[in-house]
Amino acid sequence: MKKSYILALLMVIGAVCLVYFSSDQEVARYRSFAEASTTGTSVKLVGTLVKDKPMDYNPLENPDLFSFYLKDEQGTERRVNLTQAKPQDFEMSESIVLSGKMVGEEFLATDIQMKCPSKYKDEESMIKELTES
């Protein structure tokens, strides 16, 4: 076999291994507050904003600290301290994905992703009602 074929084969094998191992690190299941407490390491968790509890953000005092309460998928509520500014339209989010770890009884979040309601949701329900009647 030619050296160029062997080199090309090794490069393909290396690329496949690189993709496999890098994607394995990105795909992580969501944890609950209870699981985050036991691991002691950084985890991802998903939940919903507890709208009847206070949200604290004072950009004059500390622009990189925003605190709120989140309910995880198991129904546990905890205070979250986000080390970023308060996201725009935060109150309208349907679900929130956080990366961070538990510090005592509070979750220290370093990253946030929000799922906001679709602007087409009302239109979809109206179209569904029209087609059913």
* CATH number of the domain residue 76 falls in: 2.40.50.140
Task: Please report the DSSP string for the chain in residue order.
Answer: --HHHHHHHHHHHHHHHHHHHHHHHH--PPBPHHHHHHH-S-EEEEEEE-TTS--EE-TTT-TT-EEEEEEETTS-EEEEEESSPPPTTGGG-SEEEEEEEEETTEEEEEEEEEEPPPTTHHHHHHHHHHHH-
- pLDDT tens digits for range 83-117: 999 998 898 888 999 999 999 999 999 999 998 77
Please tell me whether residues 20 and 41 are part of one structural domain: no
pTM for the model stands at 0.68
Residues of the chain with pLDDT under 70: 1, 21-28, 118-133
In-domain check, residue 101: yes
Same domain, 8 and 72: no
Q: What is the mean pLDDT of the chain?
A: 85
